Amino acid sequence: MDSDLLSHILQDLGLPENYGEKRRLHFCEEAKVLVKIGLNPYGKTIYLEPDTAKAWEKMKEAALKENIELLPLSGFRSIRTQAEIIRMKLESGRSLDDIMTANAPPGYSQHHTGRALDICTPGFIVPEKDFAQTPAFQWLTIHAQKFGFIMSYPVNNPEGFIYEPWHWYFVPSDRIV
């Protein structure tokens, strides 16, 4: 996306155009190639970039062998969709500062890359911190890294986001099994 358009999208939400740099967030390019990985529990089709999709399939299968069912909740999200989500929250009356602790500004969400995946499990299909109490999360903390997934936003993360135990980011490495 060109930087003028991104500046316009940020300003339209009431964010300064240098908001990302000021908060030391990393700009995230939108994925160019995406594949479907299936539906989330709400019936929405989820997309990831191809290498992430492969790693997710392997991880999901490995978990299932140990009776842990991992489900996708959210995958690729465009810069424009990110702006729409923030816009809807503003319209529902939440303050921009509050929203910015839970949502990255447009252009700075790992979901733009197609390499980020919000994960849930049957019986817990919302992105809330109590996901950390589920056996699915316990399994992920032990095994996800072997498949290339890291939890981006632990407690007190330097980016200033809330604790997001459901949010995992695929970092290609030779440790992928």
Measured from the CB atom, the residue of 60 and 167 that comes closer to Zn ion is 167
Nearest to 160 by CA among 82, 95, 100, 109: 100
In contact, 87 and 42? CB cutoff 8 Å: no
Nearest to 56 by CA among 34, 78, 77: 34
Helix/strand/coil for 144? helix
In contact, 151 and 145? CB cutoff 8 Å: no
Minimum CB–partner distance for residue 57 and Zn ion (Å): 19
Under rule CB under 5 A, residue 72 binds Zn ion: no
Q: Which of 167, 168, 169, 170 binds Zn ion (CB under 5 A)?
A: 167
Dig out the tokens for 102 from the structure: 């839970």
Dig out the tokens for 155 from the structure: 């407690």
Measured from the CB atom, the residue of 112 and 167 that comes closer to Zn ion is 167
Measured from the CB atom, the residue of 9 and 151 that comes closer to Zn ion is 151
Helix/strand/coil for 117? strand
Minimum CB–partner distance for residue 116 and Zn ion (Å): 5
The piece of 47-55, 86-94, 131-139, 167-175 that touches Zn ion (CB under 5 A) is 167-175
Q: Which of 19, 76, 108, 118 binds Zn ion (CB under 5 A)?
A: 118
Helix/strand/coil for 41? coil
Minimum CB–partner distance for residue 73 and Zn ion (Å): 8
Query: Which residues of this chain interact with Zn ion, rule CB under 5 A?
Result: 118, 167
